[in-house]
Structure formats: structure tokens, C-alpha cells
Amino acid sequence: MEQLEKNEILSRAVRAGKRTYFFDVKTTKSDERYLTITESKRKFNADNGTFFYEKHKLFLYKEDFEKFQKALAGVLEFIATGKEPDDMLFDNTSEESKSEVNIDFEDLEA
């Protein structure tokens, strides 16, 4: 088995077409556990004829696990059934979440 990083205590990989997702449980210096989710996608550099990996990471801390899990379950249910999730599942109380957010997703190709 591959040697884990010093603060990494569990790792799982999910291969999905051209992408691989890594779920890594790590610990802080104070021994608190957190999750990193990494998307890795193999790409080709036409300039020099080599392949490289483009990576994106998400850090999820213990205090946010429940909210994240409920939101993910709600959107997955919506994808499967078309039924909109119950707004009570989400924390929409902060001023930041009430303001309009403009996000430009340039590369959402499968």
C-alpha cells in the first residue's frame, strides 16, 4: 500500500473517466480531523508534448460536515428525482449567503 503523508490517516481514490477524486482524512497539529477532496484531471500540453495533472482541492472541517452532508444529499436527490430540497437543510442565515454571488464556471465539460 502507498505510504500516507505524516498527517494523513485515511485515503480513498475514485476513478471517474478522465478524472480521479481523492478523499483524504488528515489531522491538524492539535489532532483534529478534516477532509480534503481533490479532483485530479490528466491534461495534455500541446506546447511541449507532455501530459500534466490539473488539481483542485477542497478542505472540509469537522464543524461543517453536517451542513455539507445535508446540502450534498439534497442536491443529489434533486438530480435523481427533480424534487427541490427542503430549504431547512441549508444554513441561509449569514449575510454572505443572502447576497448575490456571481460565479463563472469556465470548464464544466465532462
Count up the domains in the chain and report the number: 1
Its pTM stands at 0.68
Given this model, what pLDDT does residue 78 score?
Answer: 93
Does residue 14 fall inside a structural domain? yes
Nearest Cα to Cα of residue 11 among 35, 28, 29, 30: 35
Range of the domain at 63: 8-92
Does residue 24 fall inside a structural domain? yes
Residue 40: give its domain's CATH number. 3.10.450.700
Nearest Cα to Cα of residue 37 among 3, 72, 70, 6: 72
Does residue 42 fall inside a structural domain? yes
Cell of 5: 503523508
Does residue 110 fall inside a structural domain? no
Given this model, what pLDDT does residue 1 score?
Answer: 44
Pure H helices in 1-110: 65-81, 95-98
User: What integer is the mean pLDDT of 41-46?
Assistant: 93
Given a cut of 90, is residue 88 above it in pLDDT?
Answer: no
Does residue 84 fall inside a structural domain? yes
Distance CA 10, CA 101 (A): 34
- Across the chain, how many H-helices and E-strands are there? 2, 4
